[in-house]
Amino acid sequence: MAESPRPLVKVSGLARYFDVSAPWLNRVLDGQPRLILRAVDGLDFEISKGETLALVGESGCGKSTVARLVVGLYRPSTGSIVFDGVDMAGLGGRAEMAPIRRRLQMIFQDPYASLNPRWRVSAIVSEPIRAFRLIEGESKIVERVGQLLRQVGLSPVDGEKYPHEFSGGQRQRISIARALSSQPEFLVCDEPTSALDVSVQAQILNLMKDLQRQLGLTYLFISHNLAVVRHIADRVGVMYLGRLAEIGPKTTLFTLPRHPYTRMLLDTIPDLDMTGCKRTPVAGEVPNPINPPSGCAFHPRCPFANDRCKTERPEPKANETGSITACHAVEEGRPPAGPLPAAAA
């Protein structure tokens, strides 16, 4: 990673716990303890300007929670999110938040739910402009909306239509136009292509890449699709049960994965060269985050786990390859270099 003097976004010790226990009365009557779901449990990463960091992981590993934390939809339980030198948790009122909010925007997963069905597209796209009072005067706003729609590959005439008149890909373009309308520097994309057809996915990803080049955008890209991540990311973080298993530059991570979980995930990518080869399937499933395994959360599925993994939580450590890995086995040089043996799960 090229060290810039100050990363645009710096997340340290970020955690978010959800109280999922039964109502107080039921809990007292049944003698149940409080149930705390640790959706995100201590996360550190930085994103430099103009870079794309992708977070990948299986369902339920806390990827989307991270996205919501970073844009301020959730408040972190502990830890800090520093955006361009300003700690977002320290900002109290709406007025204090506004300058930061203008600079970060979000693109959502489901293009069918992320646009208000009762609003015309022009109203949807211009909402951030009006909310932040970026442009005064109706005719100038209309002009800007037309410009934004053209920028994402739609026609200014489309502003008069309603969202339901568009296809999924077109709606995602509208979503992007809305996100761009406040001229943000940082976009959080929560699985923006997972609801789209494969052919449309590529179009949206290329559009996002073009926009990044033109406008110097920084992306936090949440996805479960490794092929998509490989296409768009500069750096990749692999999440497992609310923690980062491994984070590093894309090429390093895809060619020299160190963490057993990363290797397991990469083994599942279909590949033409591997046709007919025997592949290691992903064994087991993500444990329940309400009651996570002791020590390293991955140990029940890990082929290299020993007693240390069951008791001691691994801390992230930098590798010689440039990535950061949280794994006792990697640290001790336990795993062999070759293909993974079948996981004991």
With CB under 8 A as the contact rule, which of the stretches 29-37, 79-87, 99-107, 221-229 interacts with other proteins?
Answer: 99-107
> Whole-angstrom Cα distance, residue 46 to residue 61?
19
C-alpha distances (whole Å) from 120 to each of 128, 141, 343 are 14, 14, 52
The answer to whether residue 64 forms part of the interface with other proteins (CB under 8 A) is no
- Residue of 31, 85, 90, 117 that binds other proteins (CB under 8 A): 117
> Whole-angstrom Cα distance, residue 210 to residue 280?
36
- Residue of 131, 198, 318, 342 that binds other proteins (CB under 8 A): 131
- Residue of 42, 57, 62, 72 that binds other proteins (CB under 8 A): 72
Question: Among 91, 33, 6, which residue's Cα sits nearest to residue 291?
Answer: 33
The answer to whether residue 110 forms part of the interface with other proteins (CB under 8 A) is yes
Q: Shortest Cβ distance from residue 21 to other proteins (Å)?
A: 15
The answer to whether residue 186 forms part of the interface with other proteins (CB under 8 A) is no
The answer to whether residue 71 forms part of the interface with other proteins (CB under 8 A) is yes
With CB under 8 A as the contact rule, which of the stretches 110-118, 212-220, 236-244, 300-308 interacts with other proteins?
Answer: 110-118
Q: State which residue, 70 or 327, has the beta carbon closest to other proteins.
A: 70
Which amino acid is located at 62 in the chain? G
- Residue of 115, 233, 302, 305 that binds other proteins (CB under 8 A): 115
Q: State which residue, 117 or 333, has the beta carbon closest to other proteins.
A: 117
Q: Shortest Cβ distance from residue 151 to other proteins (Å)?
A: 18
The answer to whether residue 116 forms part of the interface with other proteins (CB under 8 A) is yes
The answer to whether residue 101 forms part of the interface with other proteins (CB under 8 A) is yes
> Whole-angstrom Cα distance, residue 100 to residue 291?
36
Q: Shortest Cβ distance from residue 141 to other proteins (Å)?
A: 15
Question: Total binding residues for other proteins by CB under 8 A?
Answer: 31
Q: State which residue, 170 or 252, has the beta carbon closest to other proteins.
A: 170
The answer to whether residue 98 forms part of the interface with other proteins (CB under 8 A) is yes
Tokens representing 102?
């203008």
With CB under 8 A as the contact rule, which of the stretches 105-113, 147-155, 281-289, 325-333 interacts with other proteins?
Answer: 105-113
- Residue of 73, 157, 290, 342 that binds other proteins (CB under 8 A): 73
With CB under 8 A as the contact rule, which of the stretches 53-61, 125-133, 225-233, 241-249 interacts with other proteins?
Answer: 125-133
Residues that bind other proteins (CB under 8 A): 68, 71-73, 94, 97-98, 101-102, 104-106, 108-110, 113-119, 127-128, 131-132, 162, 164, 175, 178, 182
